[in-house]
Chain A
Amino acid sequence: MNETELIRTLASIILQAAPLMIAVCGETITERVGVVNLSLDGTMLMSAMTGFVVGLKTDNVWLGFLAGAAIGALFALIVAFGSIRLRQSQVAVGFVLTLLGDDLSAFLGQNYTRIPGPVVKFMPIPILKDIPILGPLFFDHDIVVYFAFALVGLTWWWLFRTQPGLHLRGAGERPEAAFARGVNVNLVRYLYTMVGGALVGIAGAAYSLDVKIGWAEGHTRGLGWIALAIVIFGGWSPIRGAFGALLFGATKALATILQRTFPEVSVVAFNSIPWILMILVLLVVGSESTERVIAVMPRPLQRPLRRLLRVAPPMALGTTFGE
């Protein structure tokens, strides 16, 4: 592999990872405020289908993204309403929505499968794209990729550097304390669950309009679950989550390279890589053994390793709050 090929591979990893980064940011926001939106896989299928169909009918990709965002926010609203108002299990409602989104997208999109549709325009950034290495990697893409990176930064800044972000995290960590400080916990939860859902919807539309163009039944199946796992692996931080998304984006490139290197191995076998990776990364951040391994490391390494490998969910994640 020469340098041009390497850069092309890395750039394709970044493109593959972009929608995942958007979805991970969305779900990170949702879970940081204390709500688990487990419906991601169904939400992304529905928004991928809706985004494609609306984009096709209106011949306008932006309306496609808008429709995807609206679907995402709607699914999130159902989860939030079921949990906050009706006190039902978030996991149960989210899981039913996952299945429903899969079936609904198959039914509603049945007349739009495997047909050409609108595509997000390629948009290299002048001057920046000519920087050696960095230019082709980061600035020779379309707006979805730029949006994904900007969103990661913006989400981090909002969560950890602003007053509303503090309230958001407060609602997810110690809702009583946040409430005592005057935060309307349930309103904040509604708001950010829907914001997070809208971002997941944009991610779904980003597949059908950009990264995996078109629509077919089960078009993005599995990717929602991978995004959910990355949120955990990312320790509920958008920046770590973005690295997780890049890691998963890399598996696709890796599979292609391995396939070329070992043509005798069945193509099917390479499909298993993301799922094995999913178990492995969750084991690393979840297992007690990791802690034991860290404990025998040299002292100066322990703190950074712990920061890197250990994660803790928002304390009030998945619980309801009554005022």
Chain B
Amino acid sequence: MRIRSWGERIWPIVPVLAALLFTAGLLVVFGANPIEAFQAMWQGAFGTQDNTLGVIAFSIPLLLSSLGLLITFTAGLWNIGIEGQIVIGAVAASWVALFMDASSPVMIAVEIILAMLAGALWAGIVGILKTRGGVHEIFGGLALNNLAIIFTNYLISGPWQPPEGGSLHGTVPFREIAQLPRFAESRFAPLSLLFALVALAVVFVALRGTTWGLRLKALGKNPRSAFLLGVSSEREAILALMFCGAMAGLAGAVRVLSWYDNLKQNISGGVGYLALLVVMLAAYRTLWVPFIAFFFSMVLNGSITLQLRTQLHSSLGGILTGVLVLFVLLFGSGKVLGIGKPPDKQFLEPETGESEA
């Protein structure tokens, strides 16, 4: 093993410190004591057993989405549409939870399967628009995100609104048998952790030891030569997106069946966009993803407590994670943090030639 210099060892912490400093600066500007604020965030994340379980519960859909994105990033695709895929998964699970009558295990199984199918199909649209319609996945995905959110708002303000009427507060709470069983009155469903661990194993093995993973890598690295080698880029791209969509759909089901207990506005809570940041930070390394997802979950849950205590907007958590990823992207040495560059050479047009002189 190569011996790493002291500087190389210390370098990964620098972006973290820089992000903390930047956030601390913002807190000072807004008249808050940064030390107290970070303490409040820490307590919000780990102060009570309930807080800690909340951090775990929030991190699971984030982890599932990030695992899906590992597959699409490997194939060189920017699945920004993941946000909408989570929302549609949540809608599908809610549909079953509201209208199906069966025993609890059957209902949960149907909810999960339908949510994954819905997410995969929603992602499939992005894939078809890209491969057949020449619509870049960033724009197709973004439009479909907004359509999914608008569809949810339509449902909860129209056909699915509670009998007492109301605006955009969400559907009635689901029956107990339709929800994922939680651990000790918290928002954490042990079953969802099991899903996440299975997904982690599947993605890890798929990327390490299968020809599918190899084809995805070939597609991501160089779509044209992959085509010459017989890898159908259209088929692989659509499949990768649909796999990611299924993971996102599952994440949506977990959100709606255990984090909440009904379908409401902003059901995904930005988990999909956050997952994109997680994977950028993990730079294709599957085993880093759970830890980063957990860390992000800690920061975001902590910032909600911060808002309760100091009245400061909870977007501070998003700022901290965003600045961290930006610093790592810009200054994290590729050697140390291995920050990959998701291929964007083909942005807008695959035929674009290399202009490297």
Judge: A and B partners, yes or no. yes
Contact A315 B352 (CB under 8 A): yes
B206 to chain A, nearest CB (A): 23
Quick one: CB contact mask for B236-265 with A, threshold 8 Å, 1 for yes? 000000000000000000000000000000
- Interface residue? A229 (CB, 8 A): yes
Give CA–CA (A25, B91) in the complex, Å: 38
Quick one: CB contact mask for A285-323 with B, threshold 8 Å, 1 for yes? 111100000000000000000000000110111111111
> Quick one: which of A96, A266, A317 contacts B348, CB cutoff 8 A?
A317
> Quick one: which of A78, A90, A269, A322 contacts B344, CB cutoff 8 A?
A90
- Interface residue? B353 (CB, 8 A): yes
Quick one: CB contact mask for B269-301 with A, threshold 8 Å, 1 for yes? 000010011001000000000000000000000
Contact A91 B330 (CB under 8 A): no
* A319-B153 contact in complex given A86-B330, A222-B146, C-beta closer than 8 Å: no
Contact B134 A96 (CB under 8 A): no
- Interface residue? B342 (CB, 8 A): yes
A149 to chain B, nearest CB (A): 26
Contact A88 B330 (CB under 8 A): yes
* A88-B129 contact in complex given A96-B280, A106-B315, C-beta closer than 8 Å: no
* A92-B344 contact in complex given A107-B313, A110-B313, C-beta closer than 8 Å: yes
- The segment out of A133-141, A196-204, A272-280 that lies at the interface is A272-280
> Quick one: which of A95, A266, A272 contacts B157, CB cutoff 8 A?
A266
Contact B140 A282 (CB under 8 A): yes
Give CA–CA (A81, B146) in the complex, Å: 31
Give me the interface of A with B, judged by CB distance under 8 Å: 36, 38, 78, 81-82, 86-93, 95-97, 99-100, 102-104, 106-108, 110, 174-176, 179, 217, 222, 225, 228-229, 232, 266, 268-269, 271-272, 275-276, 278-279, 282-283, 285-288, 312-313, 315-323
Measured CB to CB, the nearest residue on chain A to B23 is: A107
A124 to chain B, nearest CB (A): 36
Closest 5 CB pairs of A and B: A286-B134, A103-B318, A100-B322, A318-B347, A91-B344
- Interface residue? B132 (CB, 8 A): yes
Number of residues of chain B lying within 8 A (CB) of chain A: 55
A sample of 28 inter-chain contacts (CB < 8 A) reads A88-B330, A89-B342, A92-B329, A92-B344, A93-B330, A95-B80, A96-B277, A99-B322, A100-B318, A100-B319, A103-B316, A107-B26, A110-B313, A179-B357, A217-B315, A228-B139, A232-B136, A271-B150, A271-B153, A275-B146, A279-B143, A282-B135, A286-B133, A288-B132, A315-B353, A316-B355, A320-B355, A321-B357
Give me the interface of B with A, judged by CB distance under 8 Å: 26, 78, 80, 129, 132-136, 138-140, 142-144, 146-147, 150-151, 153-154, 157-158, 273, 276-277, 280, 312-313, 315-316, 318-319, 322-323, 325-326, 329-331, 339, 341-345, 347-349, 352-357
Give CA–CA (A93, B332) in the complex, Å: 13
B145 to chain A, nearest CB (A): 9
* A323-B329 contact in complex given A96-B280, A103-B322, A286-B133, C-beta closer than 8 Å: no
* A103-B352 contact in complex given A175-B357, A272-B150, C-beta closer than 8 Å: no
Contact B154 A269 (CB under 8 A): yes
Q: Which residues of B contact A99 (CB under 8 A)?
A: 273, 277, 318, 322
Q: Which residues of B contact A78 (CB under 8 A)?
A: 326, 330
Q: Which residues of B contact A106 (CB under 8 A)?
A: 313, 315
B293 to chain A, nearest CB (A): 16
Give CA–CA (A323, B356) in the complex, Å: 9
A181 to chain B, nearest CB (A): 14
Give CA–CA (A81, B142) in the complex, Å: 26
> Quick one: which of B154, B318, B319, B348 contacts A232, CB cutoff 8 A?
B348
Contact A100 B323 (CB under 8 A): yes
Q: Which residues of A contact B134 (CB under 8 A)?
A: 282-283, 285-288
Contact B329 A283 (CB under 8 A): no
* A103-B315 contact in complex given A92-B342, A279-B135, A317-B352, C-beta closer than 8 Å: yes
Give CA–CA (A53, B132) in the complex, Å: 45
Contact A276 B139 (CB under 8 A): no
14 further A-B contacts with Cβ under 8 Å, apart from A103-B319, A268-B150, A319-B355, are A90-B347, A100-B322, A107-B316, A232-B136, A266-B158, A268-B153, A279-B140, A282-B134, A282-B135, A282-B140, A283-B133, A286-B134, A313-B352, A319-B354
